[in-house]
Structure 1
Amino acid sequence: MRHSYACPLRWSDMDAFGHVNNTVYLRYLEEARIDFLALAARVADPEAFTGGTVVARHEIDYLRQLVHRADPVTVELWVVKLTAASVTFAYEIKDAAGGGGPYVRARTVVAPYNIKEGYPRRLSPAERSFLEGYFDDSHRG
Protein backbone atom coordinates (compact mmCIF):
# COMPACT_ATOMS: atom_id res chain seq x y z
CA MET A 1 0.00 0.00 0.00
CA ARG A 2 1.11 3.59 -0.61
CA HIS A 3 0.40 6.82 1.22
CA SER A 4 -0.79 9.63 -1.05
CA TYR A 5 -0.38 13.32 -0.23
CA ALA A 6 -1.77 16.23 -2.30
CA CYS A 7 0.99 18.84 -2.29
CA PRO A 8 0.20 22.40 -3.38
CA LEU A 9 2.63 24.29 -5.57
CA ARG A 10 3.55 27.75 -4.34
CA TRP A 11 4.69 30.68 -6.44
CA SER A 12 7.80 30.90 -4.23
CA ASP A 13 8.74 27.33 -5.27
CA MET A 14 9.75 28.59 -8.72
CA ASP A 15 13.26 29.59 -9.69
CA ALA A 16 14.33 32.26 -12.19
CA PHE A 17 13.68 29.84 -15.07
CA GLY A 18 10.01 29.31 -14.13
CA HIS A 19 10.19 25.73 -12.87
CA VAL A 20 10.24 24.19 -9.40
CA ASN A 21 13.68 24.67 -7.88
CA ASN A 22 15.54 21.43 -7.24
CA THR A 23 15.79 22.08 -3.48
CA VAL A 24 12.03 22.57 -3.13
CA TYR A 25 11.40 18.90 -3.92
CA LEU A 26 12.95 18.05 -0.54
CA ARG A 27 10.22 20.13 1.09
CA TYR A 28 7.54 18.28 -0.90
CA LEU A 29 8.98 14.97 0.32
CA GLU A 30 9.11 16.30 3.88
CA GLU A 31 5.47 17.42 3.76
CA ALA A 32 4.38 13.95 2.59
CA ARG A 33 6.54 12.28 5.25
CA ILE A 34 5.12 14.50 8.02
CA ASP A 35 1.59 13.80 6.80
CA PHE A 36 2.41 10.10 6.96
CA LEU A 37 4.32 9.93 10.25
CA ALA A 38 2.59 12.68 12.25
CA LEU A 39 -0.97 12.10 11.06
CA ALA A 40 -1.56 8.66 9.50
CA ALA A 41 0.77 6.76 11.86
CA ARG A 42 -0.79 8.36 14.92
CA VAL A 43 -4.25 7.24 13.89
CA ALA A 44 -2.93 3.69 14.18
CA ASP A 45 -0.93 4.40 17.37
CA PRO A 46 -1.15 7.78 19.18
CA GLU A 47 2.42 7.33 20.48
CA ALA A 48 3.96 6.56 17.07
CA PHE A 49 6.98 8.71 16.23
CA THR A 50 6.13 11.24 18.96
CA GLY A 51 9.79 11.34 20.04
CA GLY A 52 10.87 12.53 16.61
CA THR A 53 12.77 11.31 13.59
CA VAL A 54 15.92 12.36 11.76
CA VAL A 55 16.78 12.11 8.09
CA ALA A 56 19.96 10.12 7.51
CA ARG A 57 20.00 10.20 3.70
CA HIS A 58 18.19 11.59 0.64
CA GLU A 59 18.47 10.36 -2.93
CA ILE A 60 16.61 12.14 -5.73
CA ASP A 61 16.24 11.51 -9.46
CA TYR A 62 14.84 14.51 -11.34
CA LEU A 63 12.93 13.12 -14.31
CA ARG A 64 10.78 15.93 -15.73
CA GLN A 65 10.44 19.67 -15.36
CA LEU A 66 7.58 20.87 -13.13
CA VAL A 67 6.19 24.36 -13.63
CA HIS A 68 3.82 26.36 -11.45
CA ARG A 69 0.08 25.73 -11.76
CA ALA A 70 -3.01 25.82 -9.57
CA ASP A 71 -3.43 22.05 -9.27
CA PRO A 72 -1.42 20.22 -6.61
CA VAL A 73 0.91 17.35 -7.36
CA THR A 74 0.58 13.96 -5.71
CA VAL A 75 3.42 12.68 -3.60
CA GLU A 76 3.19 8.92 -3.15
CA LEU A 77 5.23 7.45 -0.31
CA TRP A 78 5.88 3.81 0.55
CA VAL A 79 8.30 1.67 2.52
CA VAL A 80 11.05 -0.24 0.71
CA LYS A 81 13.28 -1.24 3.65
CA LEU A 82 12.91 -1.67 7.38
CA THR A 83 15.68 -2.30 9.90
CA ALA A 84 15.53 -2.31 13.68
CA ALA A 85 16.34 1.40 13.80
CA SER A 86 15.52 2.89 10.38
CA VAL A 87 13.03 2.97 7.56
CA THR A 88 13.70 3.71 3.90
CA PHE A 89 10.88 5.50 2.12
CA ALA A 90 10.52 5.71 -1.65
CA TYR A 91 8.51 8.45 -3.33
CA GLU A 92 7.12 9.52 -6.65
CA ILE A 93 5.94 13.06 -7.32
CA LYS A 94 3.43 13.09 -10.16
CA ASP A 95 0.27 14.63 -11.51
CA ALA A 96 -2.86 13.76 -9.56
CA ALA A 97 -4.59 12.68 -12.76
CA GLY A 98 -1.64 10.50 -13.77
CA GLY A 99 -0.10 10.44 -17.22
CA GLY A 100 3.26 11.71 -18.31
CA GLY A 101 5.23 9.76 -15.72
CA PRO A 102 6.68 11.05 -12.46
CA TYR A 103 8.53 14.33 -12.11
CA VAL A 104 10.74 12.90 -9.38
CA ARG A 105 11.62 9.56 -7.84
CA ALA A 106 13.33 9.69 -4.47
CA ARG A 107 14.34 7.75 -1.38
CA THR A 108 14.89 8.87 2.18
CA VAL A 109 16.39 6.94 5.08
CA VAL A 110 14.78 8.02 8.35
CA ALA A 111 15.74 7.00 11.87
CA PRO A 112 13.45 7.31 14.88
CA TYR A 113 15.06 9.62 17.40
CA ASN A 114 14.64 10.45 21.06
CA ILE A 115 14.81 14.23 20.81
CA LYS A 116 14.46 14.74 24.56
CA GLU A 117 17.49 12.52 25.35
CA GLY A 118 19.37 13.24 22.10
CA TYR A 119 19.96 9.80 20.63
CA PRO A 120 18.58 7.47 17.92
CA ARG A 121 16.28 4.69 19.04
CA ARG A 122 14.78 1.50 17.66
CA LEU A 123 11.37 1.33 16.04
CA SER A 124 8.66 0.31 18.49
CA PRO A 125 6.67 -2.84 17.66
CA ALA A 126 3.59 -0.68 16.91
CA GLU A 127 5.58 1.63 14.58
CA ARG A 128 7.10 -1.36 12.80
CA SER A 129 3.68 -2.97 12.36
CA PHE A 130 2.27 0.26 10.93
CA LEU A 131 5.18 0.67 8.50
CA GLU A 132 4.94 -2.94 7.33
CA GLY A 133 1.45 -2.12 6.01
CA TYR A 134 3.06 0.30 3.53
CA PHE A 135 5.75 -2.03 2.23
CA ASP A 136 6.00 -1.92 -1.57
CA ASP A 137 9.12 -2.75 -3.58
CA SER A 138 7.36 -2.96 -6.94
CA HIS A 139 9.04 0.24 -8.25
CA ARG A 140 12.80 0.08 -8.34
CA GLY A 141 14.86 2.97 -9.59
Structure 2
Amino acid sequence: MSTSLPDVPGSASVFGITVRWSDLDAYAHVNNVQYLRLLEEARVYAFKEWFGQGRDVIDEGMLVVSQAIDYLLPMEFAYAPARVAVWCGGVAGASFELGYAVAGPEGDDTVYARGRVTLVAYDLREQRPRRLGAEEREALAAVSGPAVVLRSDRAVGGGARGAAS
Protein backbone atom coordinates (compact mmCIF):
# COMPACT_ATOMS: atom_id res chain seq x y z
CA MET A 1 0.00 0.00 0.00
CA SER A 2 1.05 3.61 -0.55
CA THR A 3 3.24 5.26 2.08
CA SER A 4 3.03 8.72 0.50
CA LEU A 5 0.89 10.03 3.34
CA PRO A 6 1.65 13.41 4.93
CA ASP A 7 4.18 13.23 7.78
CA VAL A 8 4.52 9.45 7.54
CA PRO A 9 8.09 8.15 7.31
CA GLY A 10 9.02 6.02 4.31
CA SER A 11 9.93 3.20 6.71
CA ALA A 12 6.30 2.89 7.87
CA SER A 13 4.18 -0.13 7.05
CA VAL A 14 0.74 0.67 5.68
CA PHE A 15 -2.20 -1.70 6.01
CA GLY A 16 -5.72 -1.56 4.61
CA ILE A 17 -8.16 -1.92 7.50
CA THR A 18 -11.87 -2.24 6.87
CA VAL A 19 -14.12 0.36 8.44
CA ARG A 20 -17.39 -1.35 9.28
CA TRP A 21 -20.80 0.26 8.98
CA SER A 22 -21.24 -0.40 12.71
CA ASP A 23 -18.13 1.73 13.40
CA LEU A 24 -20.10 4.89 12.59
CA ASP A 25 -21.63 7.17 15.19
CA ALA A 26 -24.93 9.07 15.09
CA TYR A 27 -23.28 11.71 12.87
CA ALA A 28 -22.25 9.10 10.26
CA HIS A 29 -18.57 9.49 11.16
CA VAL A 30 -16.22 6.79 12.38
CA ASN A 31 -16.72 6.72 16.16
CA ASN A 32 -13.65 7.84 18.11
CA VAL A 33 -13.36 4.59 20.04
CA GLN A 34 -13.19 2.64 16.78
CA TYR A 35 -9.87 4.28 15.94
CA LEU A 36 -8.32 2.18 18.72
CA ARG A 37 -9.53 -0.93 16.88
CA LEU A 38 -7.98 0.34 13.64
CA LEU A 39 -4.65 0.89 15.43
CA GLU A 40 -4.85 -2.53 17.06
CA GLU A 41 -5.52 -4.33 13.77
CA ALA A 42 -2.68 -2.51 12.03
CA ARG A 43 -0.38 -3.41 14.94
CA VAL A 44 -1.25 -7.12 14.65
CA TYR A 45 -0.43 -7.10 10.92
CA ALA A 46 2.72 -5.05 11.52
CA PHE A 47 4.06 -7.45 14.13
CA LYS A 48 3.68 -10.39 11.71
CA GLU A 49 5.44 -8.40 8.98
CA TRP A 50 8.20 -7.04 11.20
CA PHE A 51 8.95 -9.99 13.48
CA GLY A 52 8.32 -12.80 11.01
CA GLN A 53 5.62 -15.30 10.21
CA GLY A 54 7.16 -18.03 12.37
CA ARG A 55 7.00 -15.96 15.55
CA ASP A 56 4.07 -14.42 17.38
CA VAL A 57 5.33 -11.68 19.70
CA ILE A 58 1.78 -11.06 20.88
CA ASP A 59 1.53 -14.61 22.25
CA GLU A 60 5.02 -14.23 23.72
CA GLY A 61 3.87 -11.14 25.62
CA MET A 62 3.41 -7.55 24.47
CA LEU A 63 1.23 -5.27 26.54
CA VAL A 64 -0.18 -1.88 25.64
CA VAL A 65 0.67 0.51 28.48
CA SER A 66 -0.56 3.79 26.99
CA GLN A 67 -2.45 5.11 23.99
CA ALA A 68 -3.08 8.65 22.77
CA ILE A 69 -4.89 9.87 19.66
CA ASP A 70 -5.47 13.20 17.98
CA TYR A 71 -8.70 13.18 15.98
CA LEU A 72 -7.97 15.58 13.15
CA LEU A 73 -11.03 15.34 10.90
CA PRO A 74 -14.21 13.25 10.89
CA MET A 75 -13.85 10.19 8.67
CA GLU A 76 -16.92 8.94 6.85
CA PHE A 77 -17.73 5.41 5.71
CA ALA A 78 -16.12 4.17 2.51
CA TYR A 79 -16.40 0.76 0.90
CA ALA A 80 -12.63 0.61 0.37
CA PRO A 81 -10.43 0.02 3.44
CA ALA A 82 -8.90 2.91 5.35
CA ARG A 83 -5.10 2.93 5.36
CA VAL A 84 -3.29 2.80 8.67
CA ALA A 85 0.43 3.59 8.68
CA VAL A 86 2.47 2.31 11.62
CA TRP A 87 6.14 2.72 12.50
CA CYS A 88 8.42 2.62 15.53
CA GLY A 89 8.92 6.03 17.11
CA GLY A 90 11.39 4.99 19.81
CA VAL A 91 12.83 2.07 21.74
CA ALA A 92 13.85 1.79 25.39
CA GLY A 93 14.95 -1.14 27.56
CA ALA A 94 11.68 -3.08 27.76
CA SER A 95 9.32 -0.82 25.84
CA PHE A 96 8.82 0.80 22.48
CA GLU A 97 6.54 3.39 20.99
CA LEU A 98 4.56 3.08 17.78
CA GLY A 99 3.41 6.00 15.68
CA TYR A 100 0.25 5.83 13.59
CA ALA A 101 -1.53 7.80 10.89
CA VAL A 102 -5.08 6.83 9.87
CA ALA A 103 -5.88 7.88 6.31
CA GLY A 104 -8.67 7.36 3.87
CA PRO A 105 -8.72 4.67 1.19
CA GLU A 106 -6.31 4.73 -1.77
CA GLY A 107 -6.81 8.06 -3.49
CA ASP A 108 -7.68 9.87 -0.26
CA ASP A 109 -4.42 10.91 1.40
CA THR A 110 -6.22 12.86 4.11
CA VAL A 111 -4.91 11.91 7.55
CA TYR A 112 -7.95 11.73 9.82
CA ALA A 113 -6.14 10.80 13.02
CA ARG A 114 -2.65 10.40 14.45
CA GLY A 115 -1.83 8.16 17.34
CA ARG A 116 0.88 6.92 19.61
CA VAL A 117 0.92 3.64 21.51
CA THR A 118 3.53 2.49 24.01
CA LEU A 119 4.02 -1.24 24.46
CA VAL A 120 6.13 -3.21 26.89
CA ALA A 121 7.65 -6.63 26.24
CA TYR A 122 6.26 -8.89 28.94
CA ASP A 123 7.26 -12.27 30.30
CA LEU A 124 3.91 -14.01 30.72
CA ARG A 125 5.31 -16.83 32.85
CA GLU A 126 7.15 -14.53 35.27
CA GLN A 127 4.41 -11.85 35.11
CA ARG A 128 6.85 -8.98 34.67
CA PRO A 129 8.35 -6.81 31.93
CA ARG A 130 11.32 -8.23 30.04
CA ARG A 131 14.04 -6.49 28.08
CA LEU A 132 13.67 -6.36 24.31
CA GLY A 133 15.96 -8.83 22.56
CA ALA A 134 18.47 -8.02 19.83
CA GLU A 135 16.19 -9.43 17.07
CA GLU A 136 13.28 -7.32 18.28
CA ARG A 137 15.43 -4.19 18.41
CA GLU A 138 16.74 -4.89 14.90
CA ALA A 139 13.21 -5.36 13.53
CA LEU A 140 12.03 -2.13 15.17
CA ALA A 141 15.06 -0.21 13.89
CA ALA A 142 14.13 -1.20 10.33
CA VAL A 143 10.76 0.57 10.68
CA SER A 144 11.86 3.50 12.80
CA GLY A 145 10.86 7.07 12.21
CA PRO A 146 10.19 10.22 14.18
CA ALA A 147 8.00 9.99 17.25
CA VAL A 148 4.46 11.25 16.76
CA VAL A 149 3.93 14.66 18.34
CA LEU A 150 0.36 15.13 19.47
CA ARG A 151 -1.50 18.29 20.44
CA SER A 152 -1.13 17.51 24.14
CA ASP A 153 2.67 17.34 23.75
CA ARG A 154 2.76 20.83 22.29
CA ALA A 155 0.33 22.16 24.89
CA VAL A 156 2.73 21.39 27.73
CA GLY A 157 5.65 22.96 25.89
CA GLY A 158 7.16 19.55 25.20
CA GLY A 159 7.95 19.45 21.51
CA ALA A 160 9.02 15.97 20.39
CA ARG A 161 8.86 13.36 23.11
CA GLY A 162 11.57 10.88 23.89
CA ALA A 163 11.11 7.12 23.81
CA ALA A 164 9.30 5.43 26.63
CA SER A 165 11.36 3.72 29.30
TM over 0.5: yes
Indicate whether 1:129 and 2:138 are aligned.
Answer: yes
Secondary structure of the structure 1 residue equivalent to 2:40:
helix
Say which of 59, 66, 72 aligns to 1:63: 72
* Structure 1 unpaired stretches of 5+: none
- The question of whether the paired residues in 2 share the 8 Å contact of 1:89 and 1:107 is answered with yes
Matched residue, 1:25:
35
* TM-aligned CA deviation for residue 49 of structure 1: 5.0
* TM-aligned CA deviation for residue 16 of structure 1: 1.6
Q: Kindly tell me: are residues 25 and 11 of structure 1, through their superposed partners in 2, closer, same or farther at Cα, counting changes over 3 Å?
A: same
Percent of pairs identical after alignment?
A: 31
Secondary structure of the structure 2 residue equivalent to 1:56:
strand
Bigger Cα displacement from structure 2, 16-25 vs 40-49: 40-49
Matched residue, 1:4:
14
Secondary structure of the structure 1 residue equivalent to 2:144:
coil
Q: Kindly tell me: are residues 49 and 15 of structure 1, through their superposed partners in 2, closer, same or farther at Cα, counting changes over 3 Å?
A: closer
- The question of whether the paired residues in 1 share the 8 Å contact of 2:98 and 2:118 is answered with yes
* TM-aligned CA deviation for residue 97 of structure 1: 2.6
- The question of whether the paired residues in 1 share the 8 Å contact of 2:13 and 2:86 is answered with yes
- The question of whether the paired residues in 2 share the 8 Å contact of 1:49 and 1:112 is answered with no
5 Å matches for 1:112-123? 112-123=121-132
* Structure 2 unpaired stretches of 5+: 1-10, 151-165
Matched residue, 2:104:
95
Equivalents in 2 of 1:54, 1:14: separation in Å? 27
Matched residue, 2:153:
none
- The question of whether the paired residues in 2 share the 8 Å contact of 1:6 and 1:73 is answered with yes
Say which of 38, 58, 73 aligns to 2:82: 73
* TM-aligned CA deviation for residue 139 of structure 1: 6.2
Secondary structure of the structure 2 residue equivalent to 1:23:
helix
Equivalents in 1 of 2:70, 2:26: separation in Å? 21
For normalisation by structure 2, the TM-score amounts to 0.77
* TM-aligned CA deviation for residue 47 of structure 1: 6.2
